[in-house]
Structure 1
Amino acid sequence: MLHKLNLENVLFLDIETVPEFRDYSEMDEEKKLLWDEKSKYQRRDDFTAEEFYEKAGIWSEFGKIICISAGYFSFRNGSRNFRITSFKGEEEQLLRDFNQLLEEYFFQPYQLLCAHNGKEFDFPYIARRMLIHNMRLPSKLNLFGKKPWEVPHLDTLELWKFGDYKHYTSLKLLTHVLGIPSPKEDIDGSMVREVYYENGELDRIVQYCERDVIAIAQVILRLRQEPLLADSEISSV
């Protein structure tokens, strides 16, 4: 089935998230108590709630999105191109801009969203943050009442699992074993909070996010036994 997929109908994406606040002390007392309860099962007694707050970006209730990068294939006159764009900065505005992209260009039933671990992280995170900002969900993220086969999402992690739901493979490992250039050339996910809050280097994070999107598209090409994208085939819009 993957070989029959029209790649022009797929929007590849990745998000970068950070804690909602720079520091634990900036939360009000009620939010601190809620964070203490939410994080308790993962931090156990190894860290206090305050010490563990640097991990808050992985939860949509305590984090925020600072970048969404998206890419798509275009086939014209026998040439193949992969075009990539990013939405960055203030969360509500970037979500509205991304929402507009989906509603205007990726709203057809046959069009899909694709990410690595997207079904567990990227897609629900974006949807929850949109609702927190009181935004109407685009059709591609509104899954209420949909049957599993109606969900318009493609996940490279799920494809690689081949039904083995105990198995997790990072994008970095997957690109390595498939012979794809690593997207983690500069920073990795564990460094995003520091690069954003301490260094103020949002553009550096955007570049990292875009490399992940390219890597996800490359994984799909490898799973289809097709040639990888060359640098000359990749452009920004």
Structure 2
Amino acid sequence: MLENIDLMNVLVLDIETVPQYASYQEVPPTLKHLWEQKTVYQRKENDTPESFYGRAGIWAEFGKIVCISVGMFANKQSFRVKSFYGDDEKALLERFLGLLASQPKDLCLCAHNGKEFDIPYICRRLLINNLPLAPQLHLNGKKPWEINHLDTLELWKFGDYKNYTSLNLLAAIFGIPTPKDDIDGSMVGEIYWQHKDLNRIKTYCQKDVVTTARILQKFKALPVLSDEQITYAE
């Protein structure tokens, strides 16, 4: 499949998510009970539902999207990055849908671990916000080979499903600059709720998009993008 992919028809994306509430104390009682049930098998012996709440952003039912960064190739060595971010999740999702509406219905979406995390998370949060799924996100009723999505984690597995390879590790072995030189995903909730620094989160999200694009080029045996070949849209 990868050999037939036209990079100019690929939208590389990454999302950053946080818990819906700034602290466990603010969570409504009903959701607290459901949170306890949802995480009972994920929590370690010393974890309480409250101490574990910092990880709530991982689940679409208990988290929200604060940034979606996307990138597209104008040609094989030119890449444009744009971000949709803010406190109003519905507004940023609407802007993201506006971008998808301007693209072909067969646009290929690409993310690292996107099939397990980014794409399902976006779809769930769209429905929770009473928004429609864009044609590029329609998955129900399709066979796996009919879904026009790329996942660099899946590509790296080559059919081996035994373990997970992080984007940071792939970047290191390919000699690509790490996207984790400032923060990593575990810090996003704190940076959002305590430091109110959306710009820092946006920059981190954009780095993941650029790194994923460069890894995709490696899979196609192409020279990777230089910093000078990347532009950032406001």
**TM-score category of the 2 structures, normalised to the smaller one:** over 0.9
> What residue is the counterpart of 1:100 in the other structure?
98
How far 1:2 sits from its partner (Å)?
2.2
**Following superposition, which runs of at least 4 residues in structure 1 exceed 2 angstroms of deviation?**
1-4
Paired residues for 1:49-198 under 5 Å: 49-75=49-75, 80-89=77-86, 90-105=88-103, 107-109=104-106, 111-198=107-194
Structure 1 residues 122-147: Cα deviation after superposition (integer angstroms, max 9, x where no partner) = 00000000000111110111211111
Q: Is 2:221 the partner of 1:221?
A: no
Rounded to whole Å, the distance in 2 between the matches of 1:210 and 1:70 is: 7
Q: Distance in 2 between matches of 1:101 and 1:8?
A: 15
Output the TM-score relative to the length of structure 2: 0.97
Partner of residue 32, structure 1: 32
| Residues 68-121 of structure 1: per-residue CA shift (max 9 Å, x gap) | 00000002xxx731000000011000001101111221x322x20000000000
1: CA distance between counterparts of 2:33 and 2:205? 32
Q: CA deviation at 1:149?
A: 1.1
The residue matched to 2:135 in structure 1 has which SS? coil
In 2, Cα distance between equivalents of 1:201 and 1:102: 27
Is structure 2 residue 232 aligned with structure 1 residue 232? no
Q: Which runs of 5+ in 2 are unaligned?
A: none
Write the distance in 2 (CA, Å) between the matches of 1:108 and 1:54: 37
- C-alpha distance in structure 2 between counterparts of 1:154 and 1:97, whole Å: 22
Show structure 1 runs of 5+ residues with no match: none
- Within 2, Cα distance between the matches of 1:232 and 1:47? 46
How many residues are aligned here? 232
1-structure distance, mates of 2:31, 2:186 = 23
CA drift of 1:223 comes to 1.2
**3-state SS, counterpart of residue 113 of structure 1:** strand
1:44 CA drift (Å): 3.8
Which segment drifts farther, 54-63 or 179-188? Answer: 179-188
Secondary structure in structure 2 of the residue aligned to 1:140: helix
1:200 aligns with 2:196: yes
Counting aligned pairs with the same residue, the percent is: 53
Distance apart, 1:4 and its partner CA: 3.2
Q: Which moved more, 1:143-152 or 1:62-71?
A: 143-152
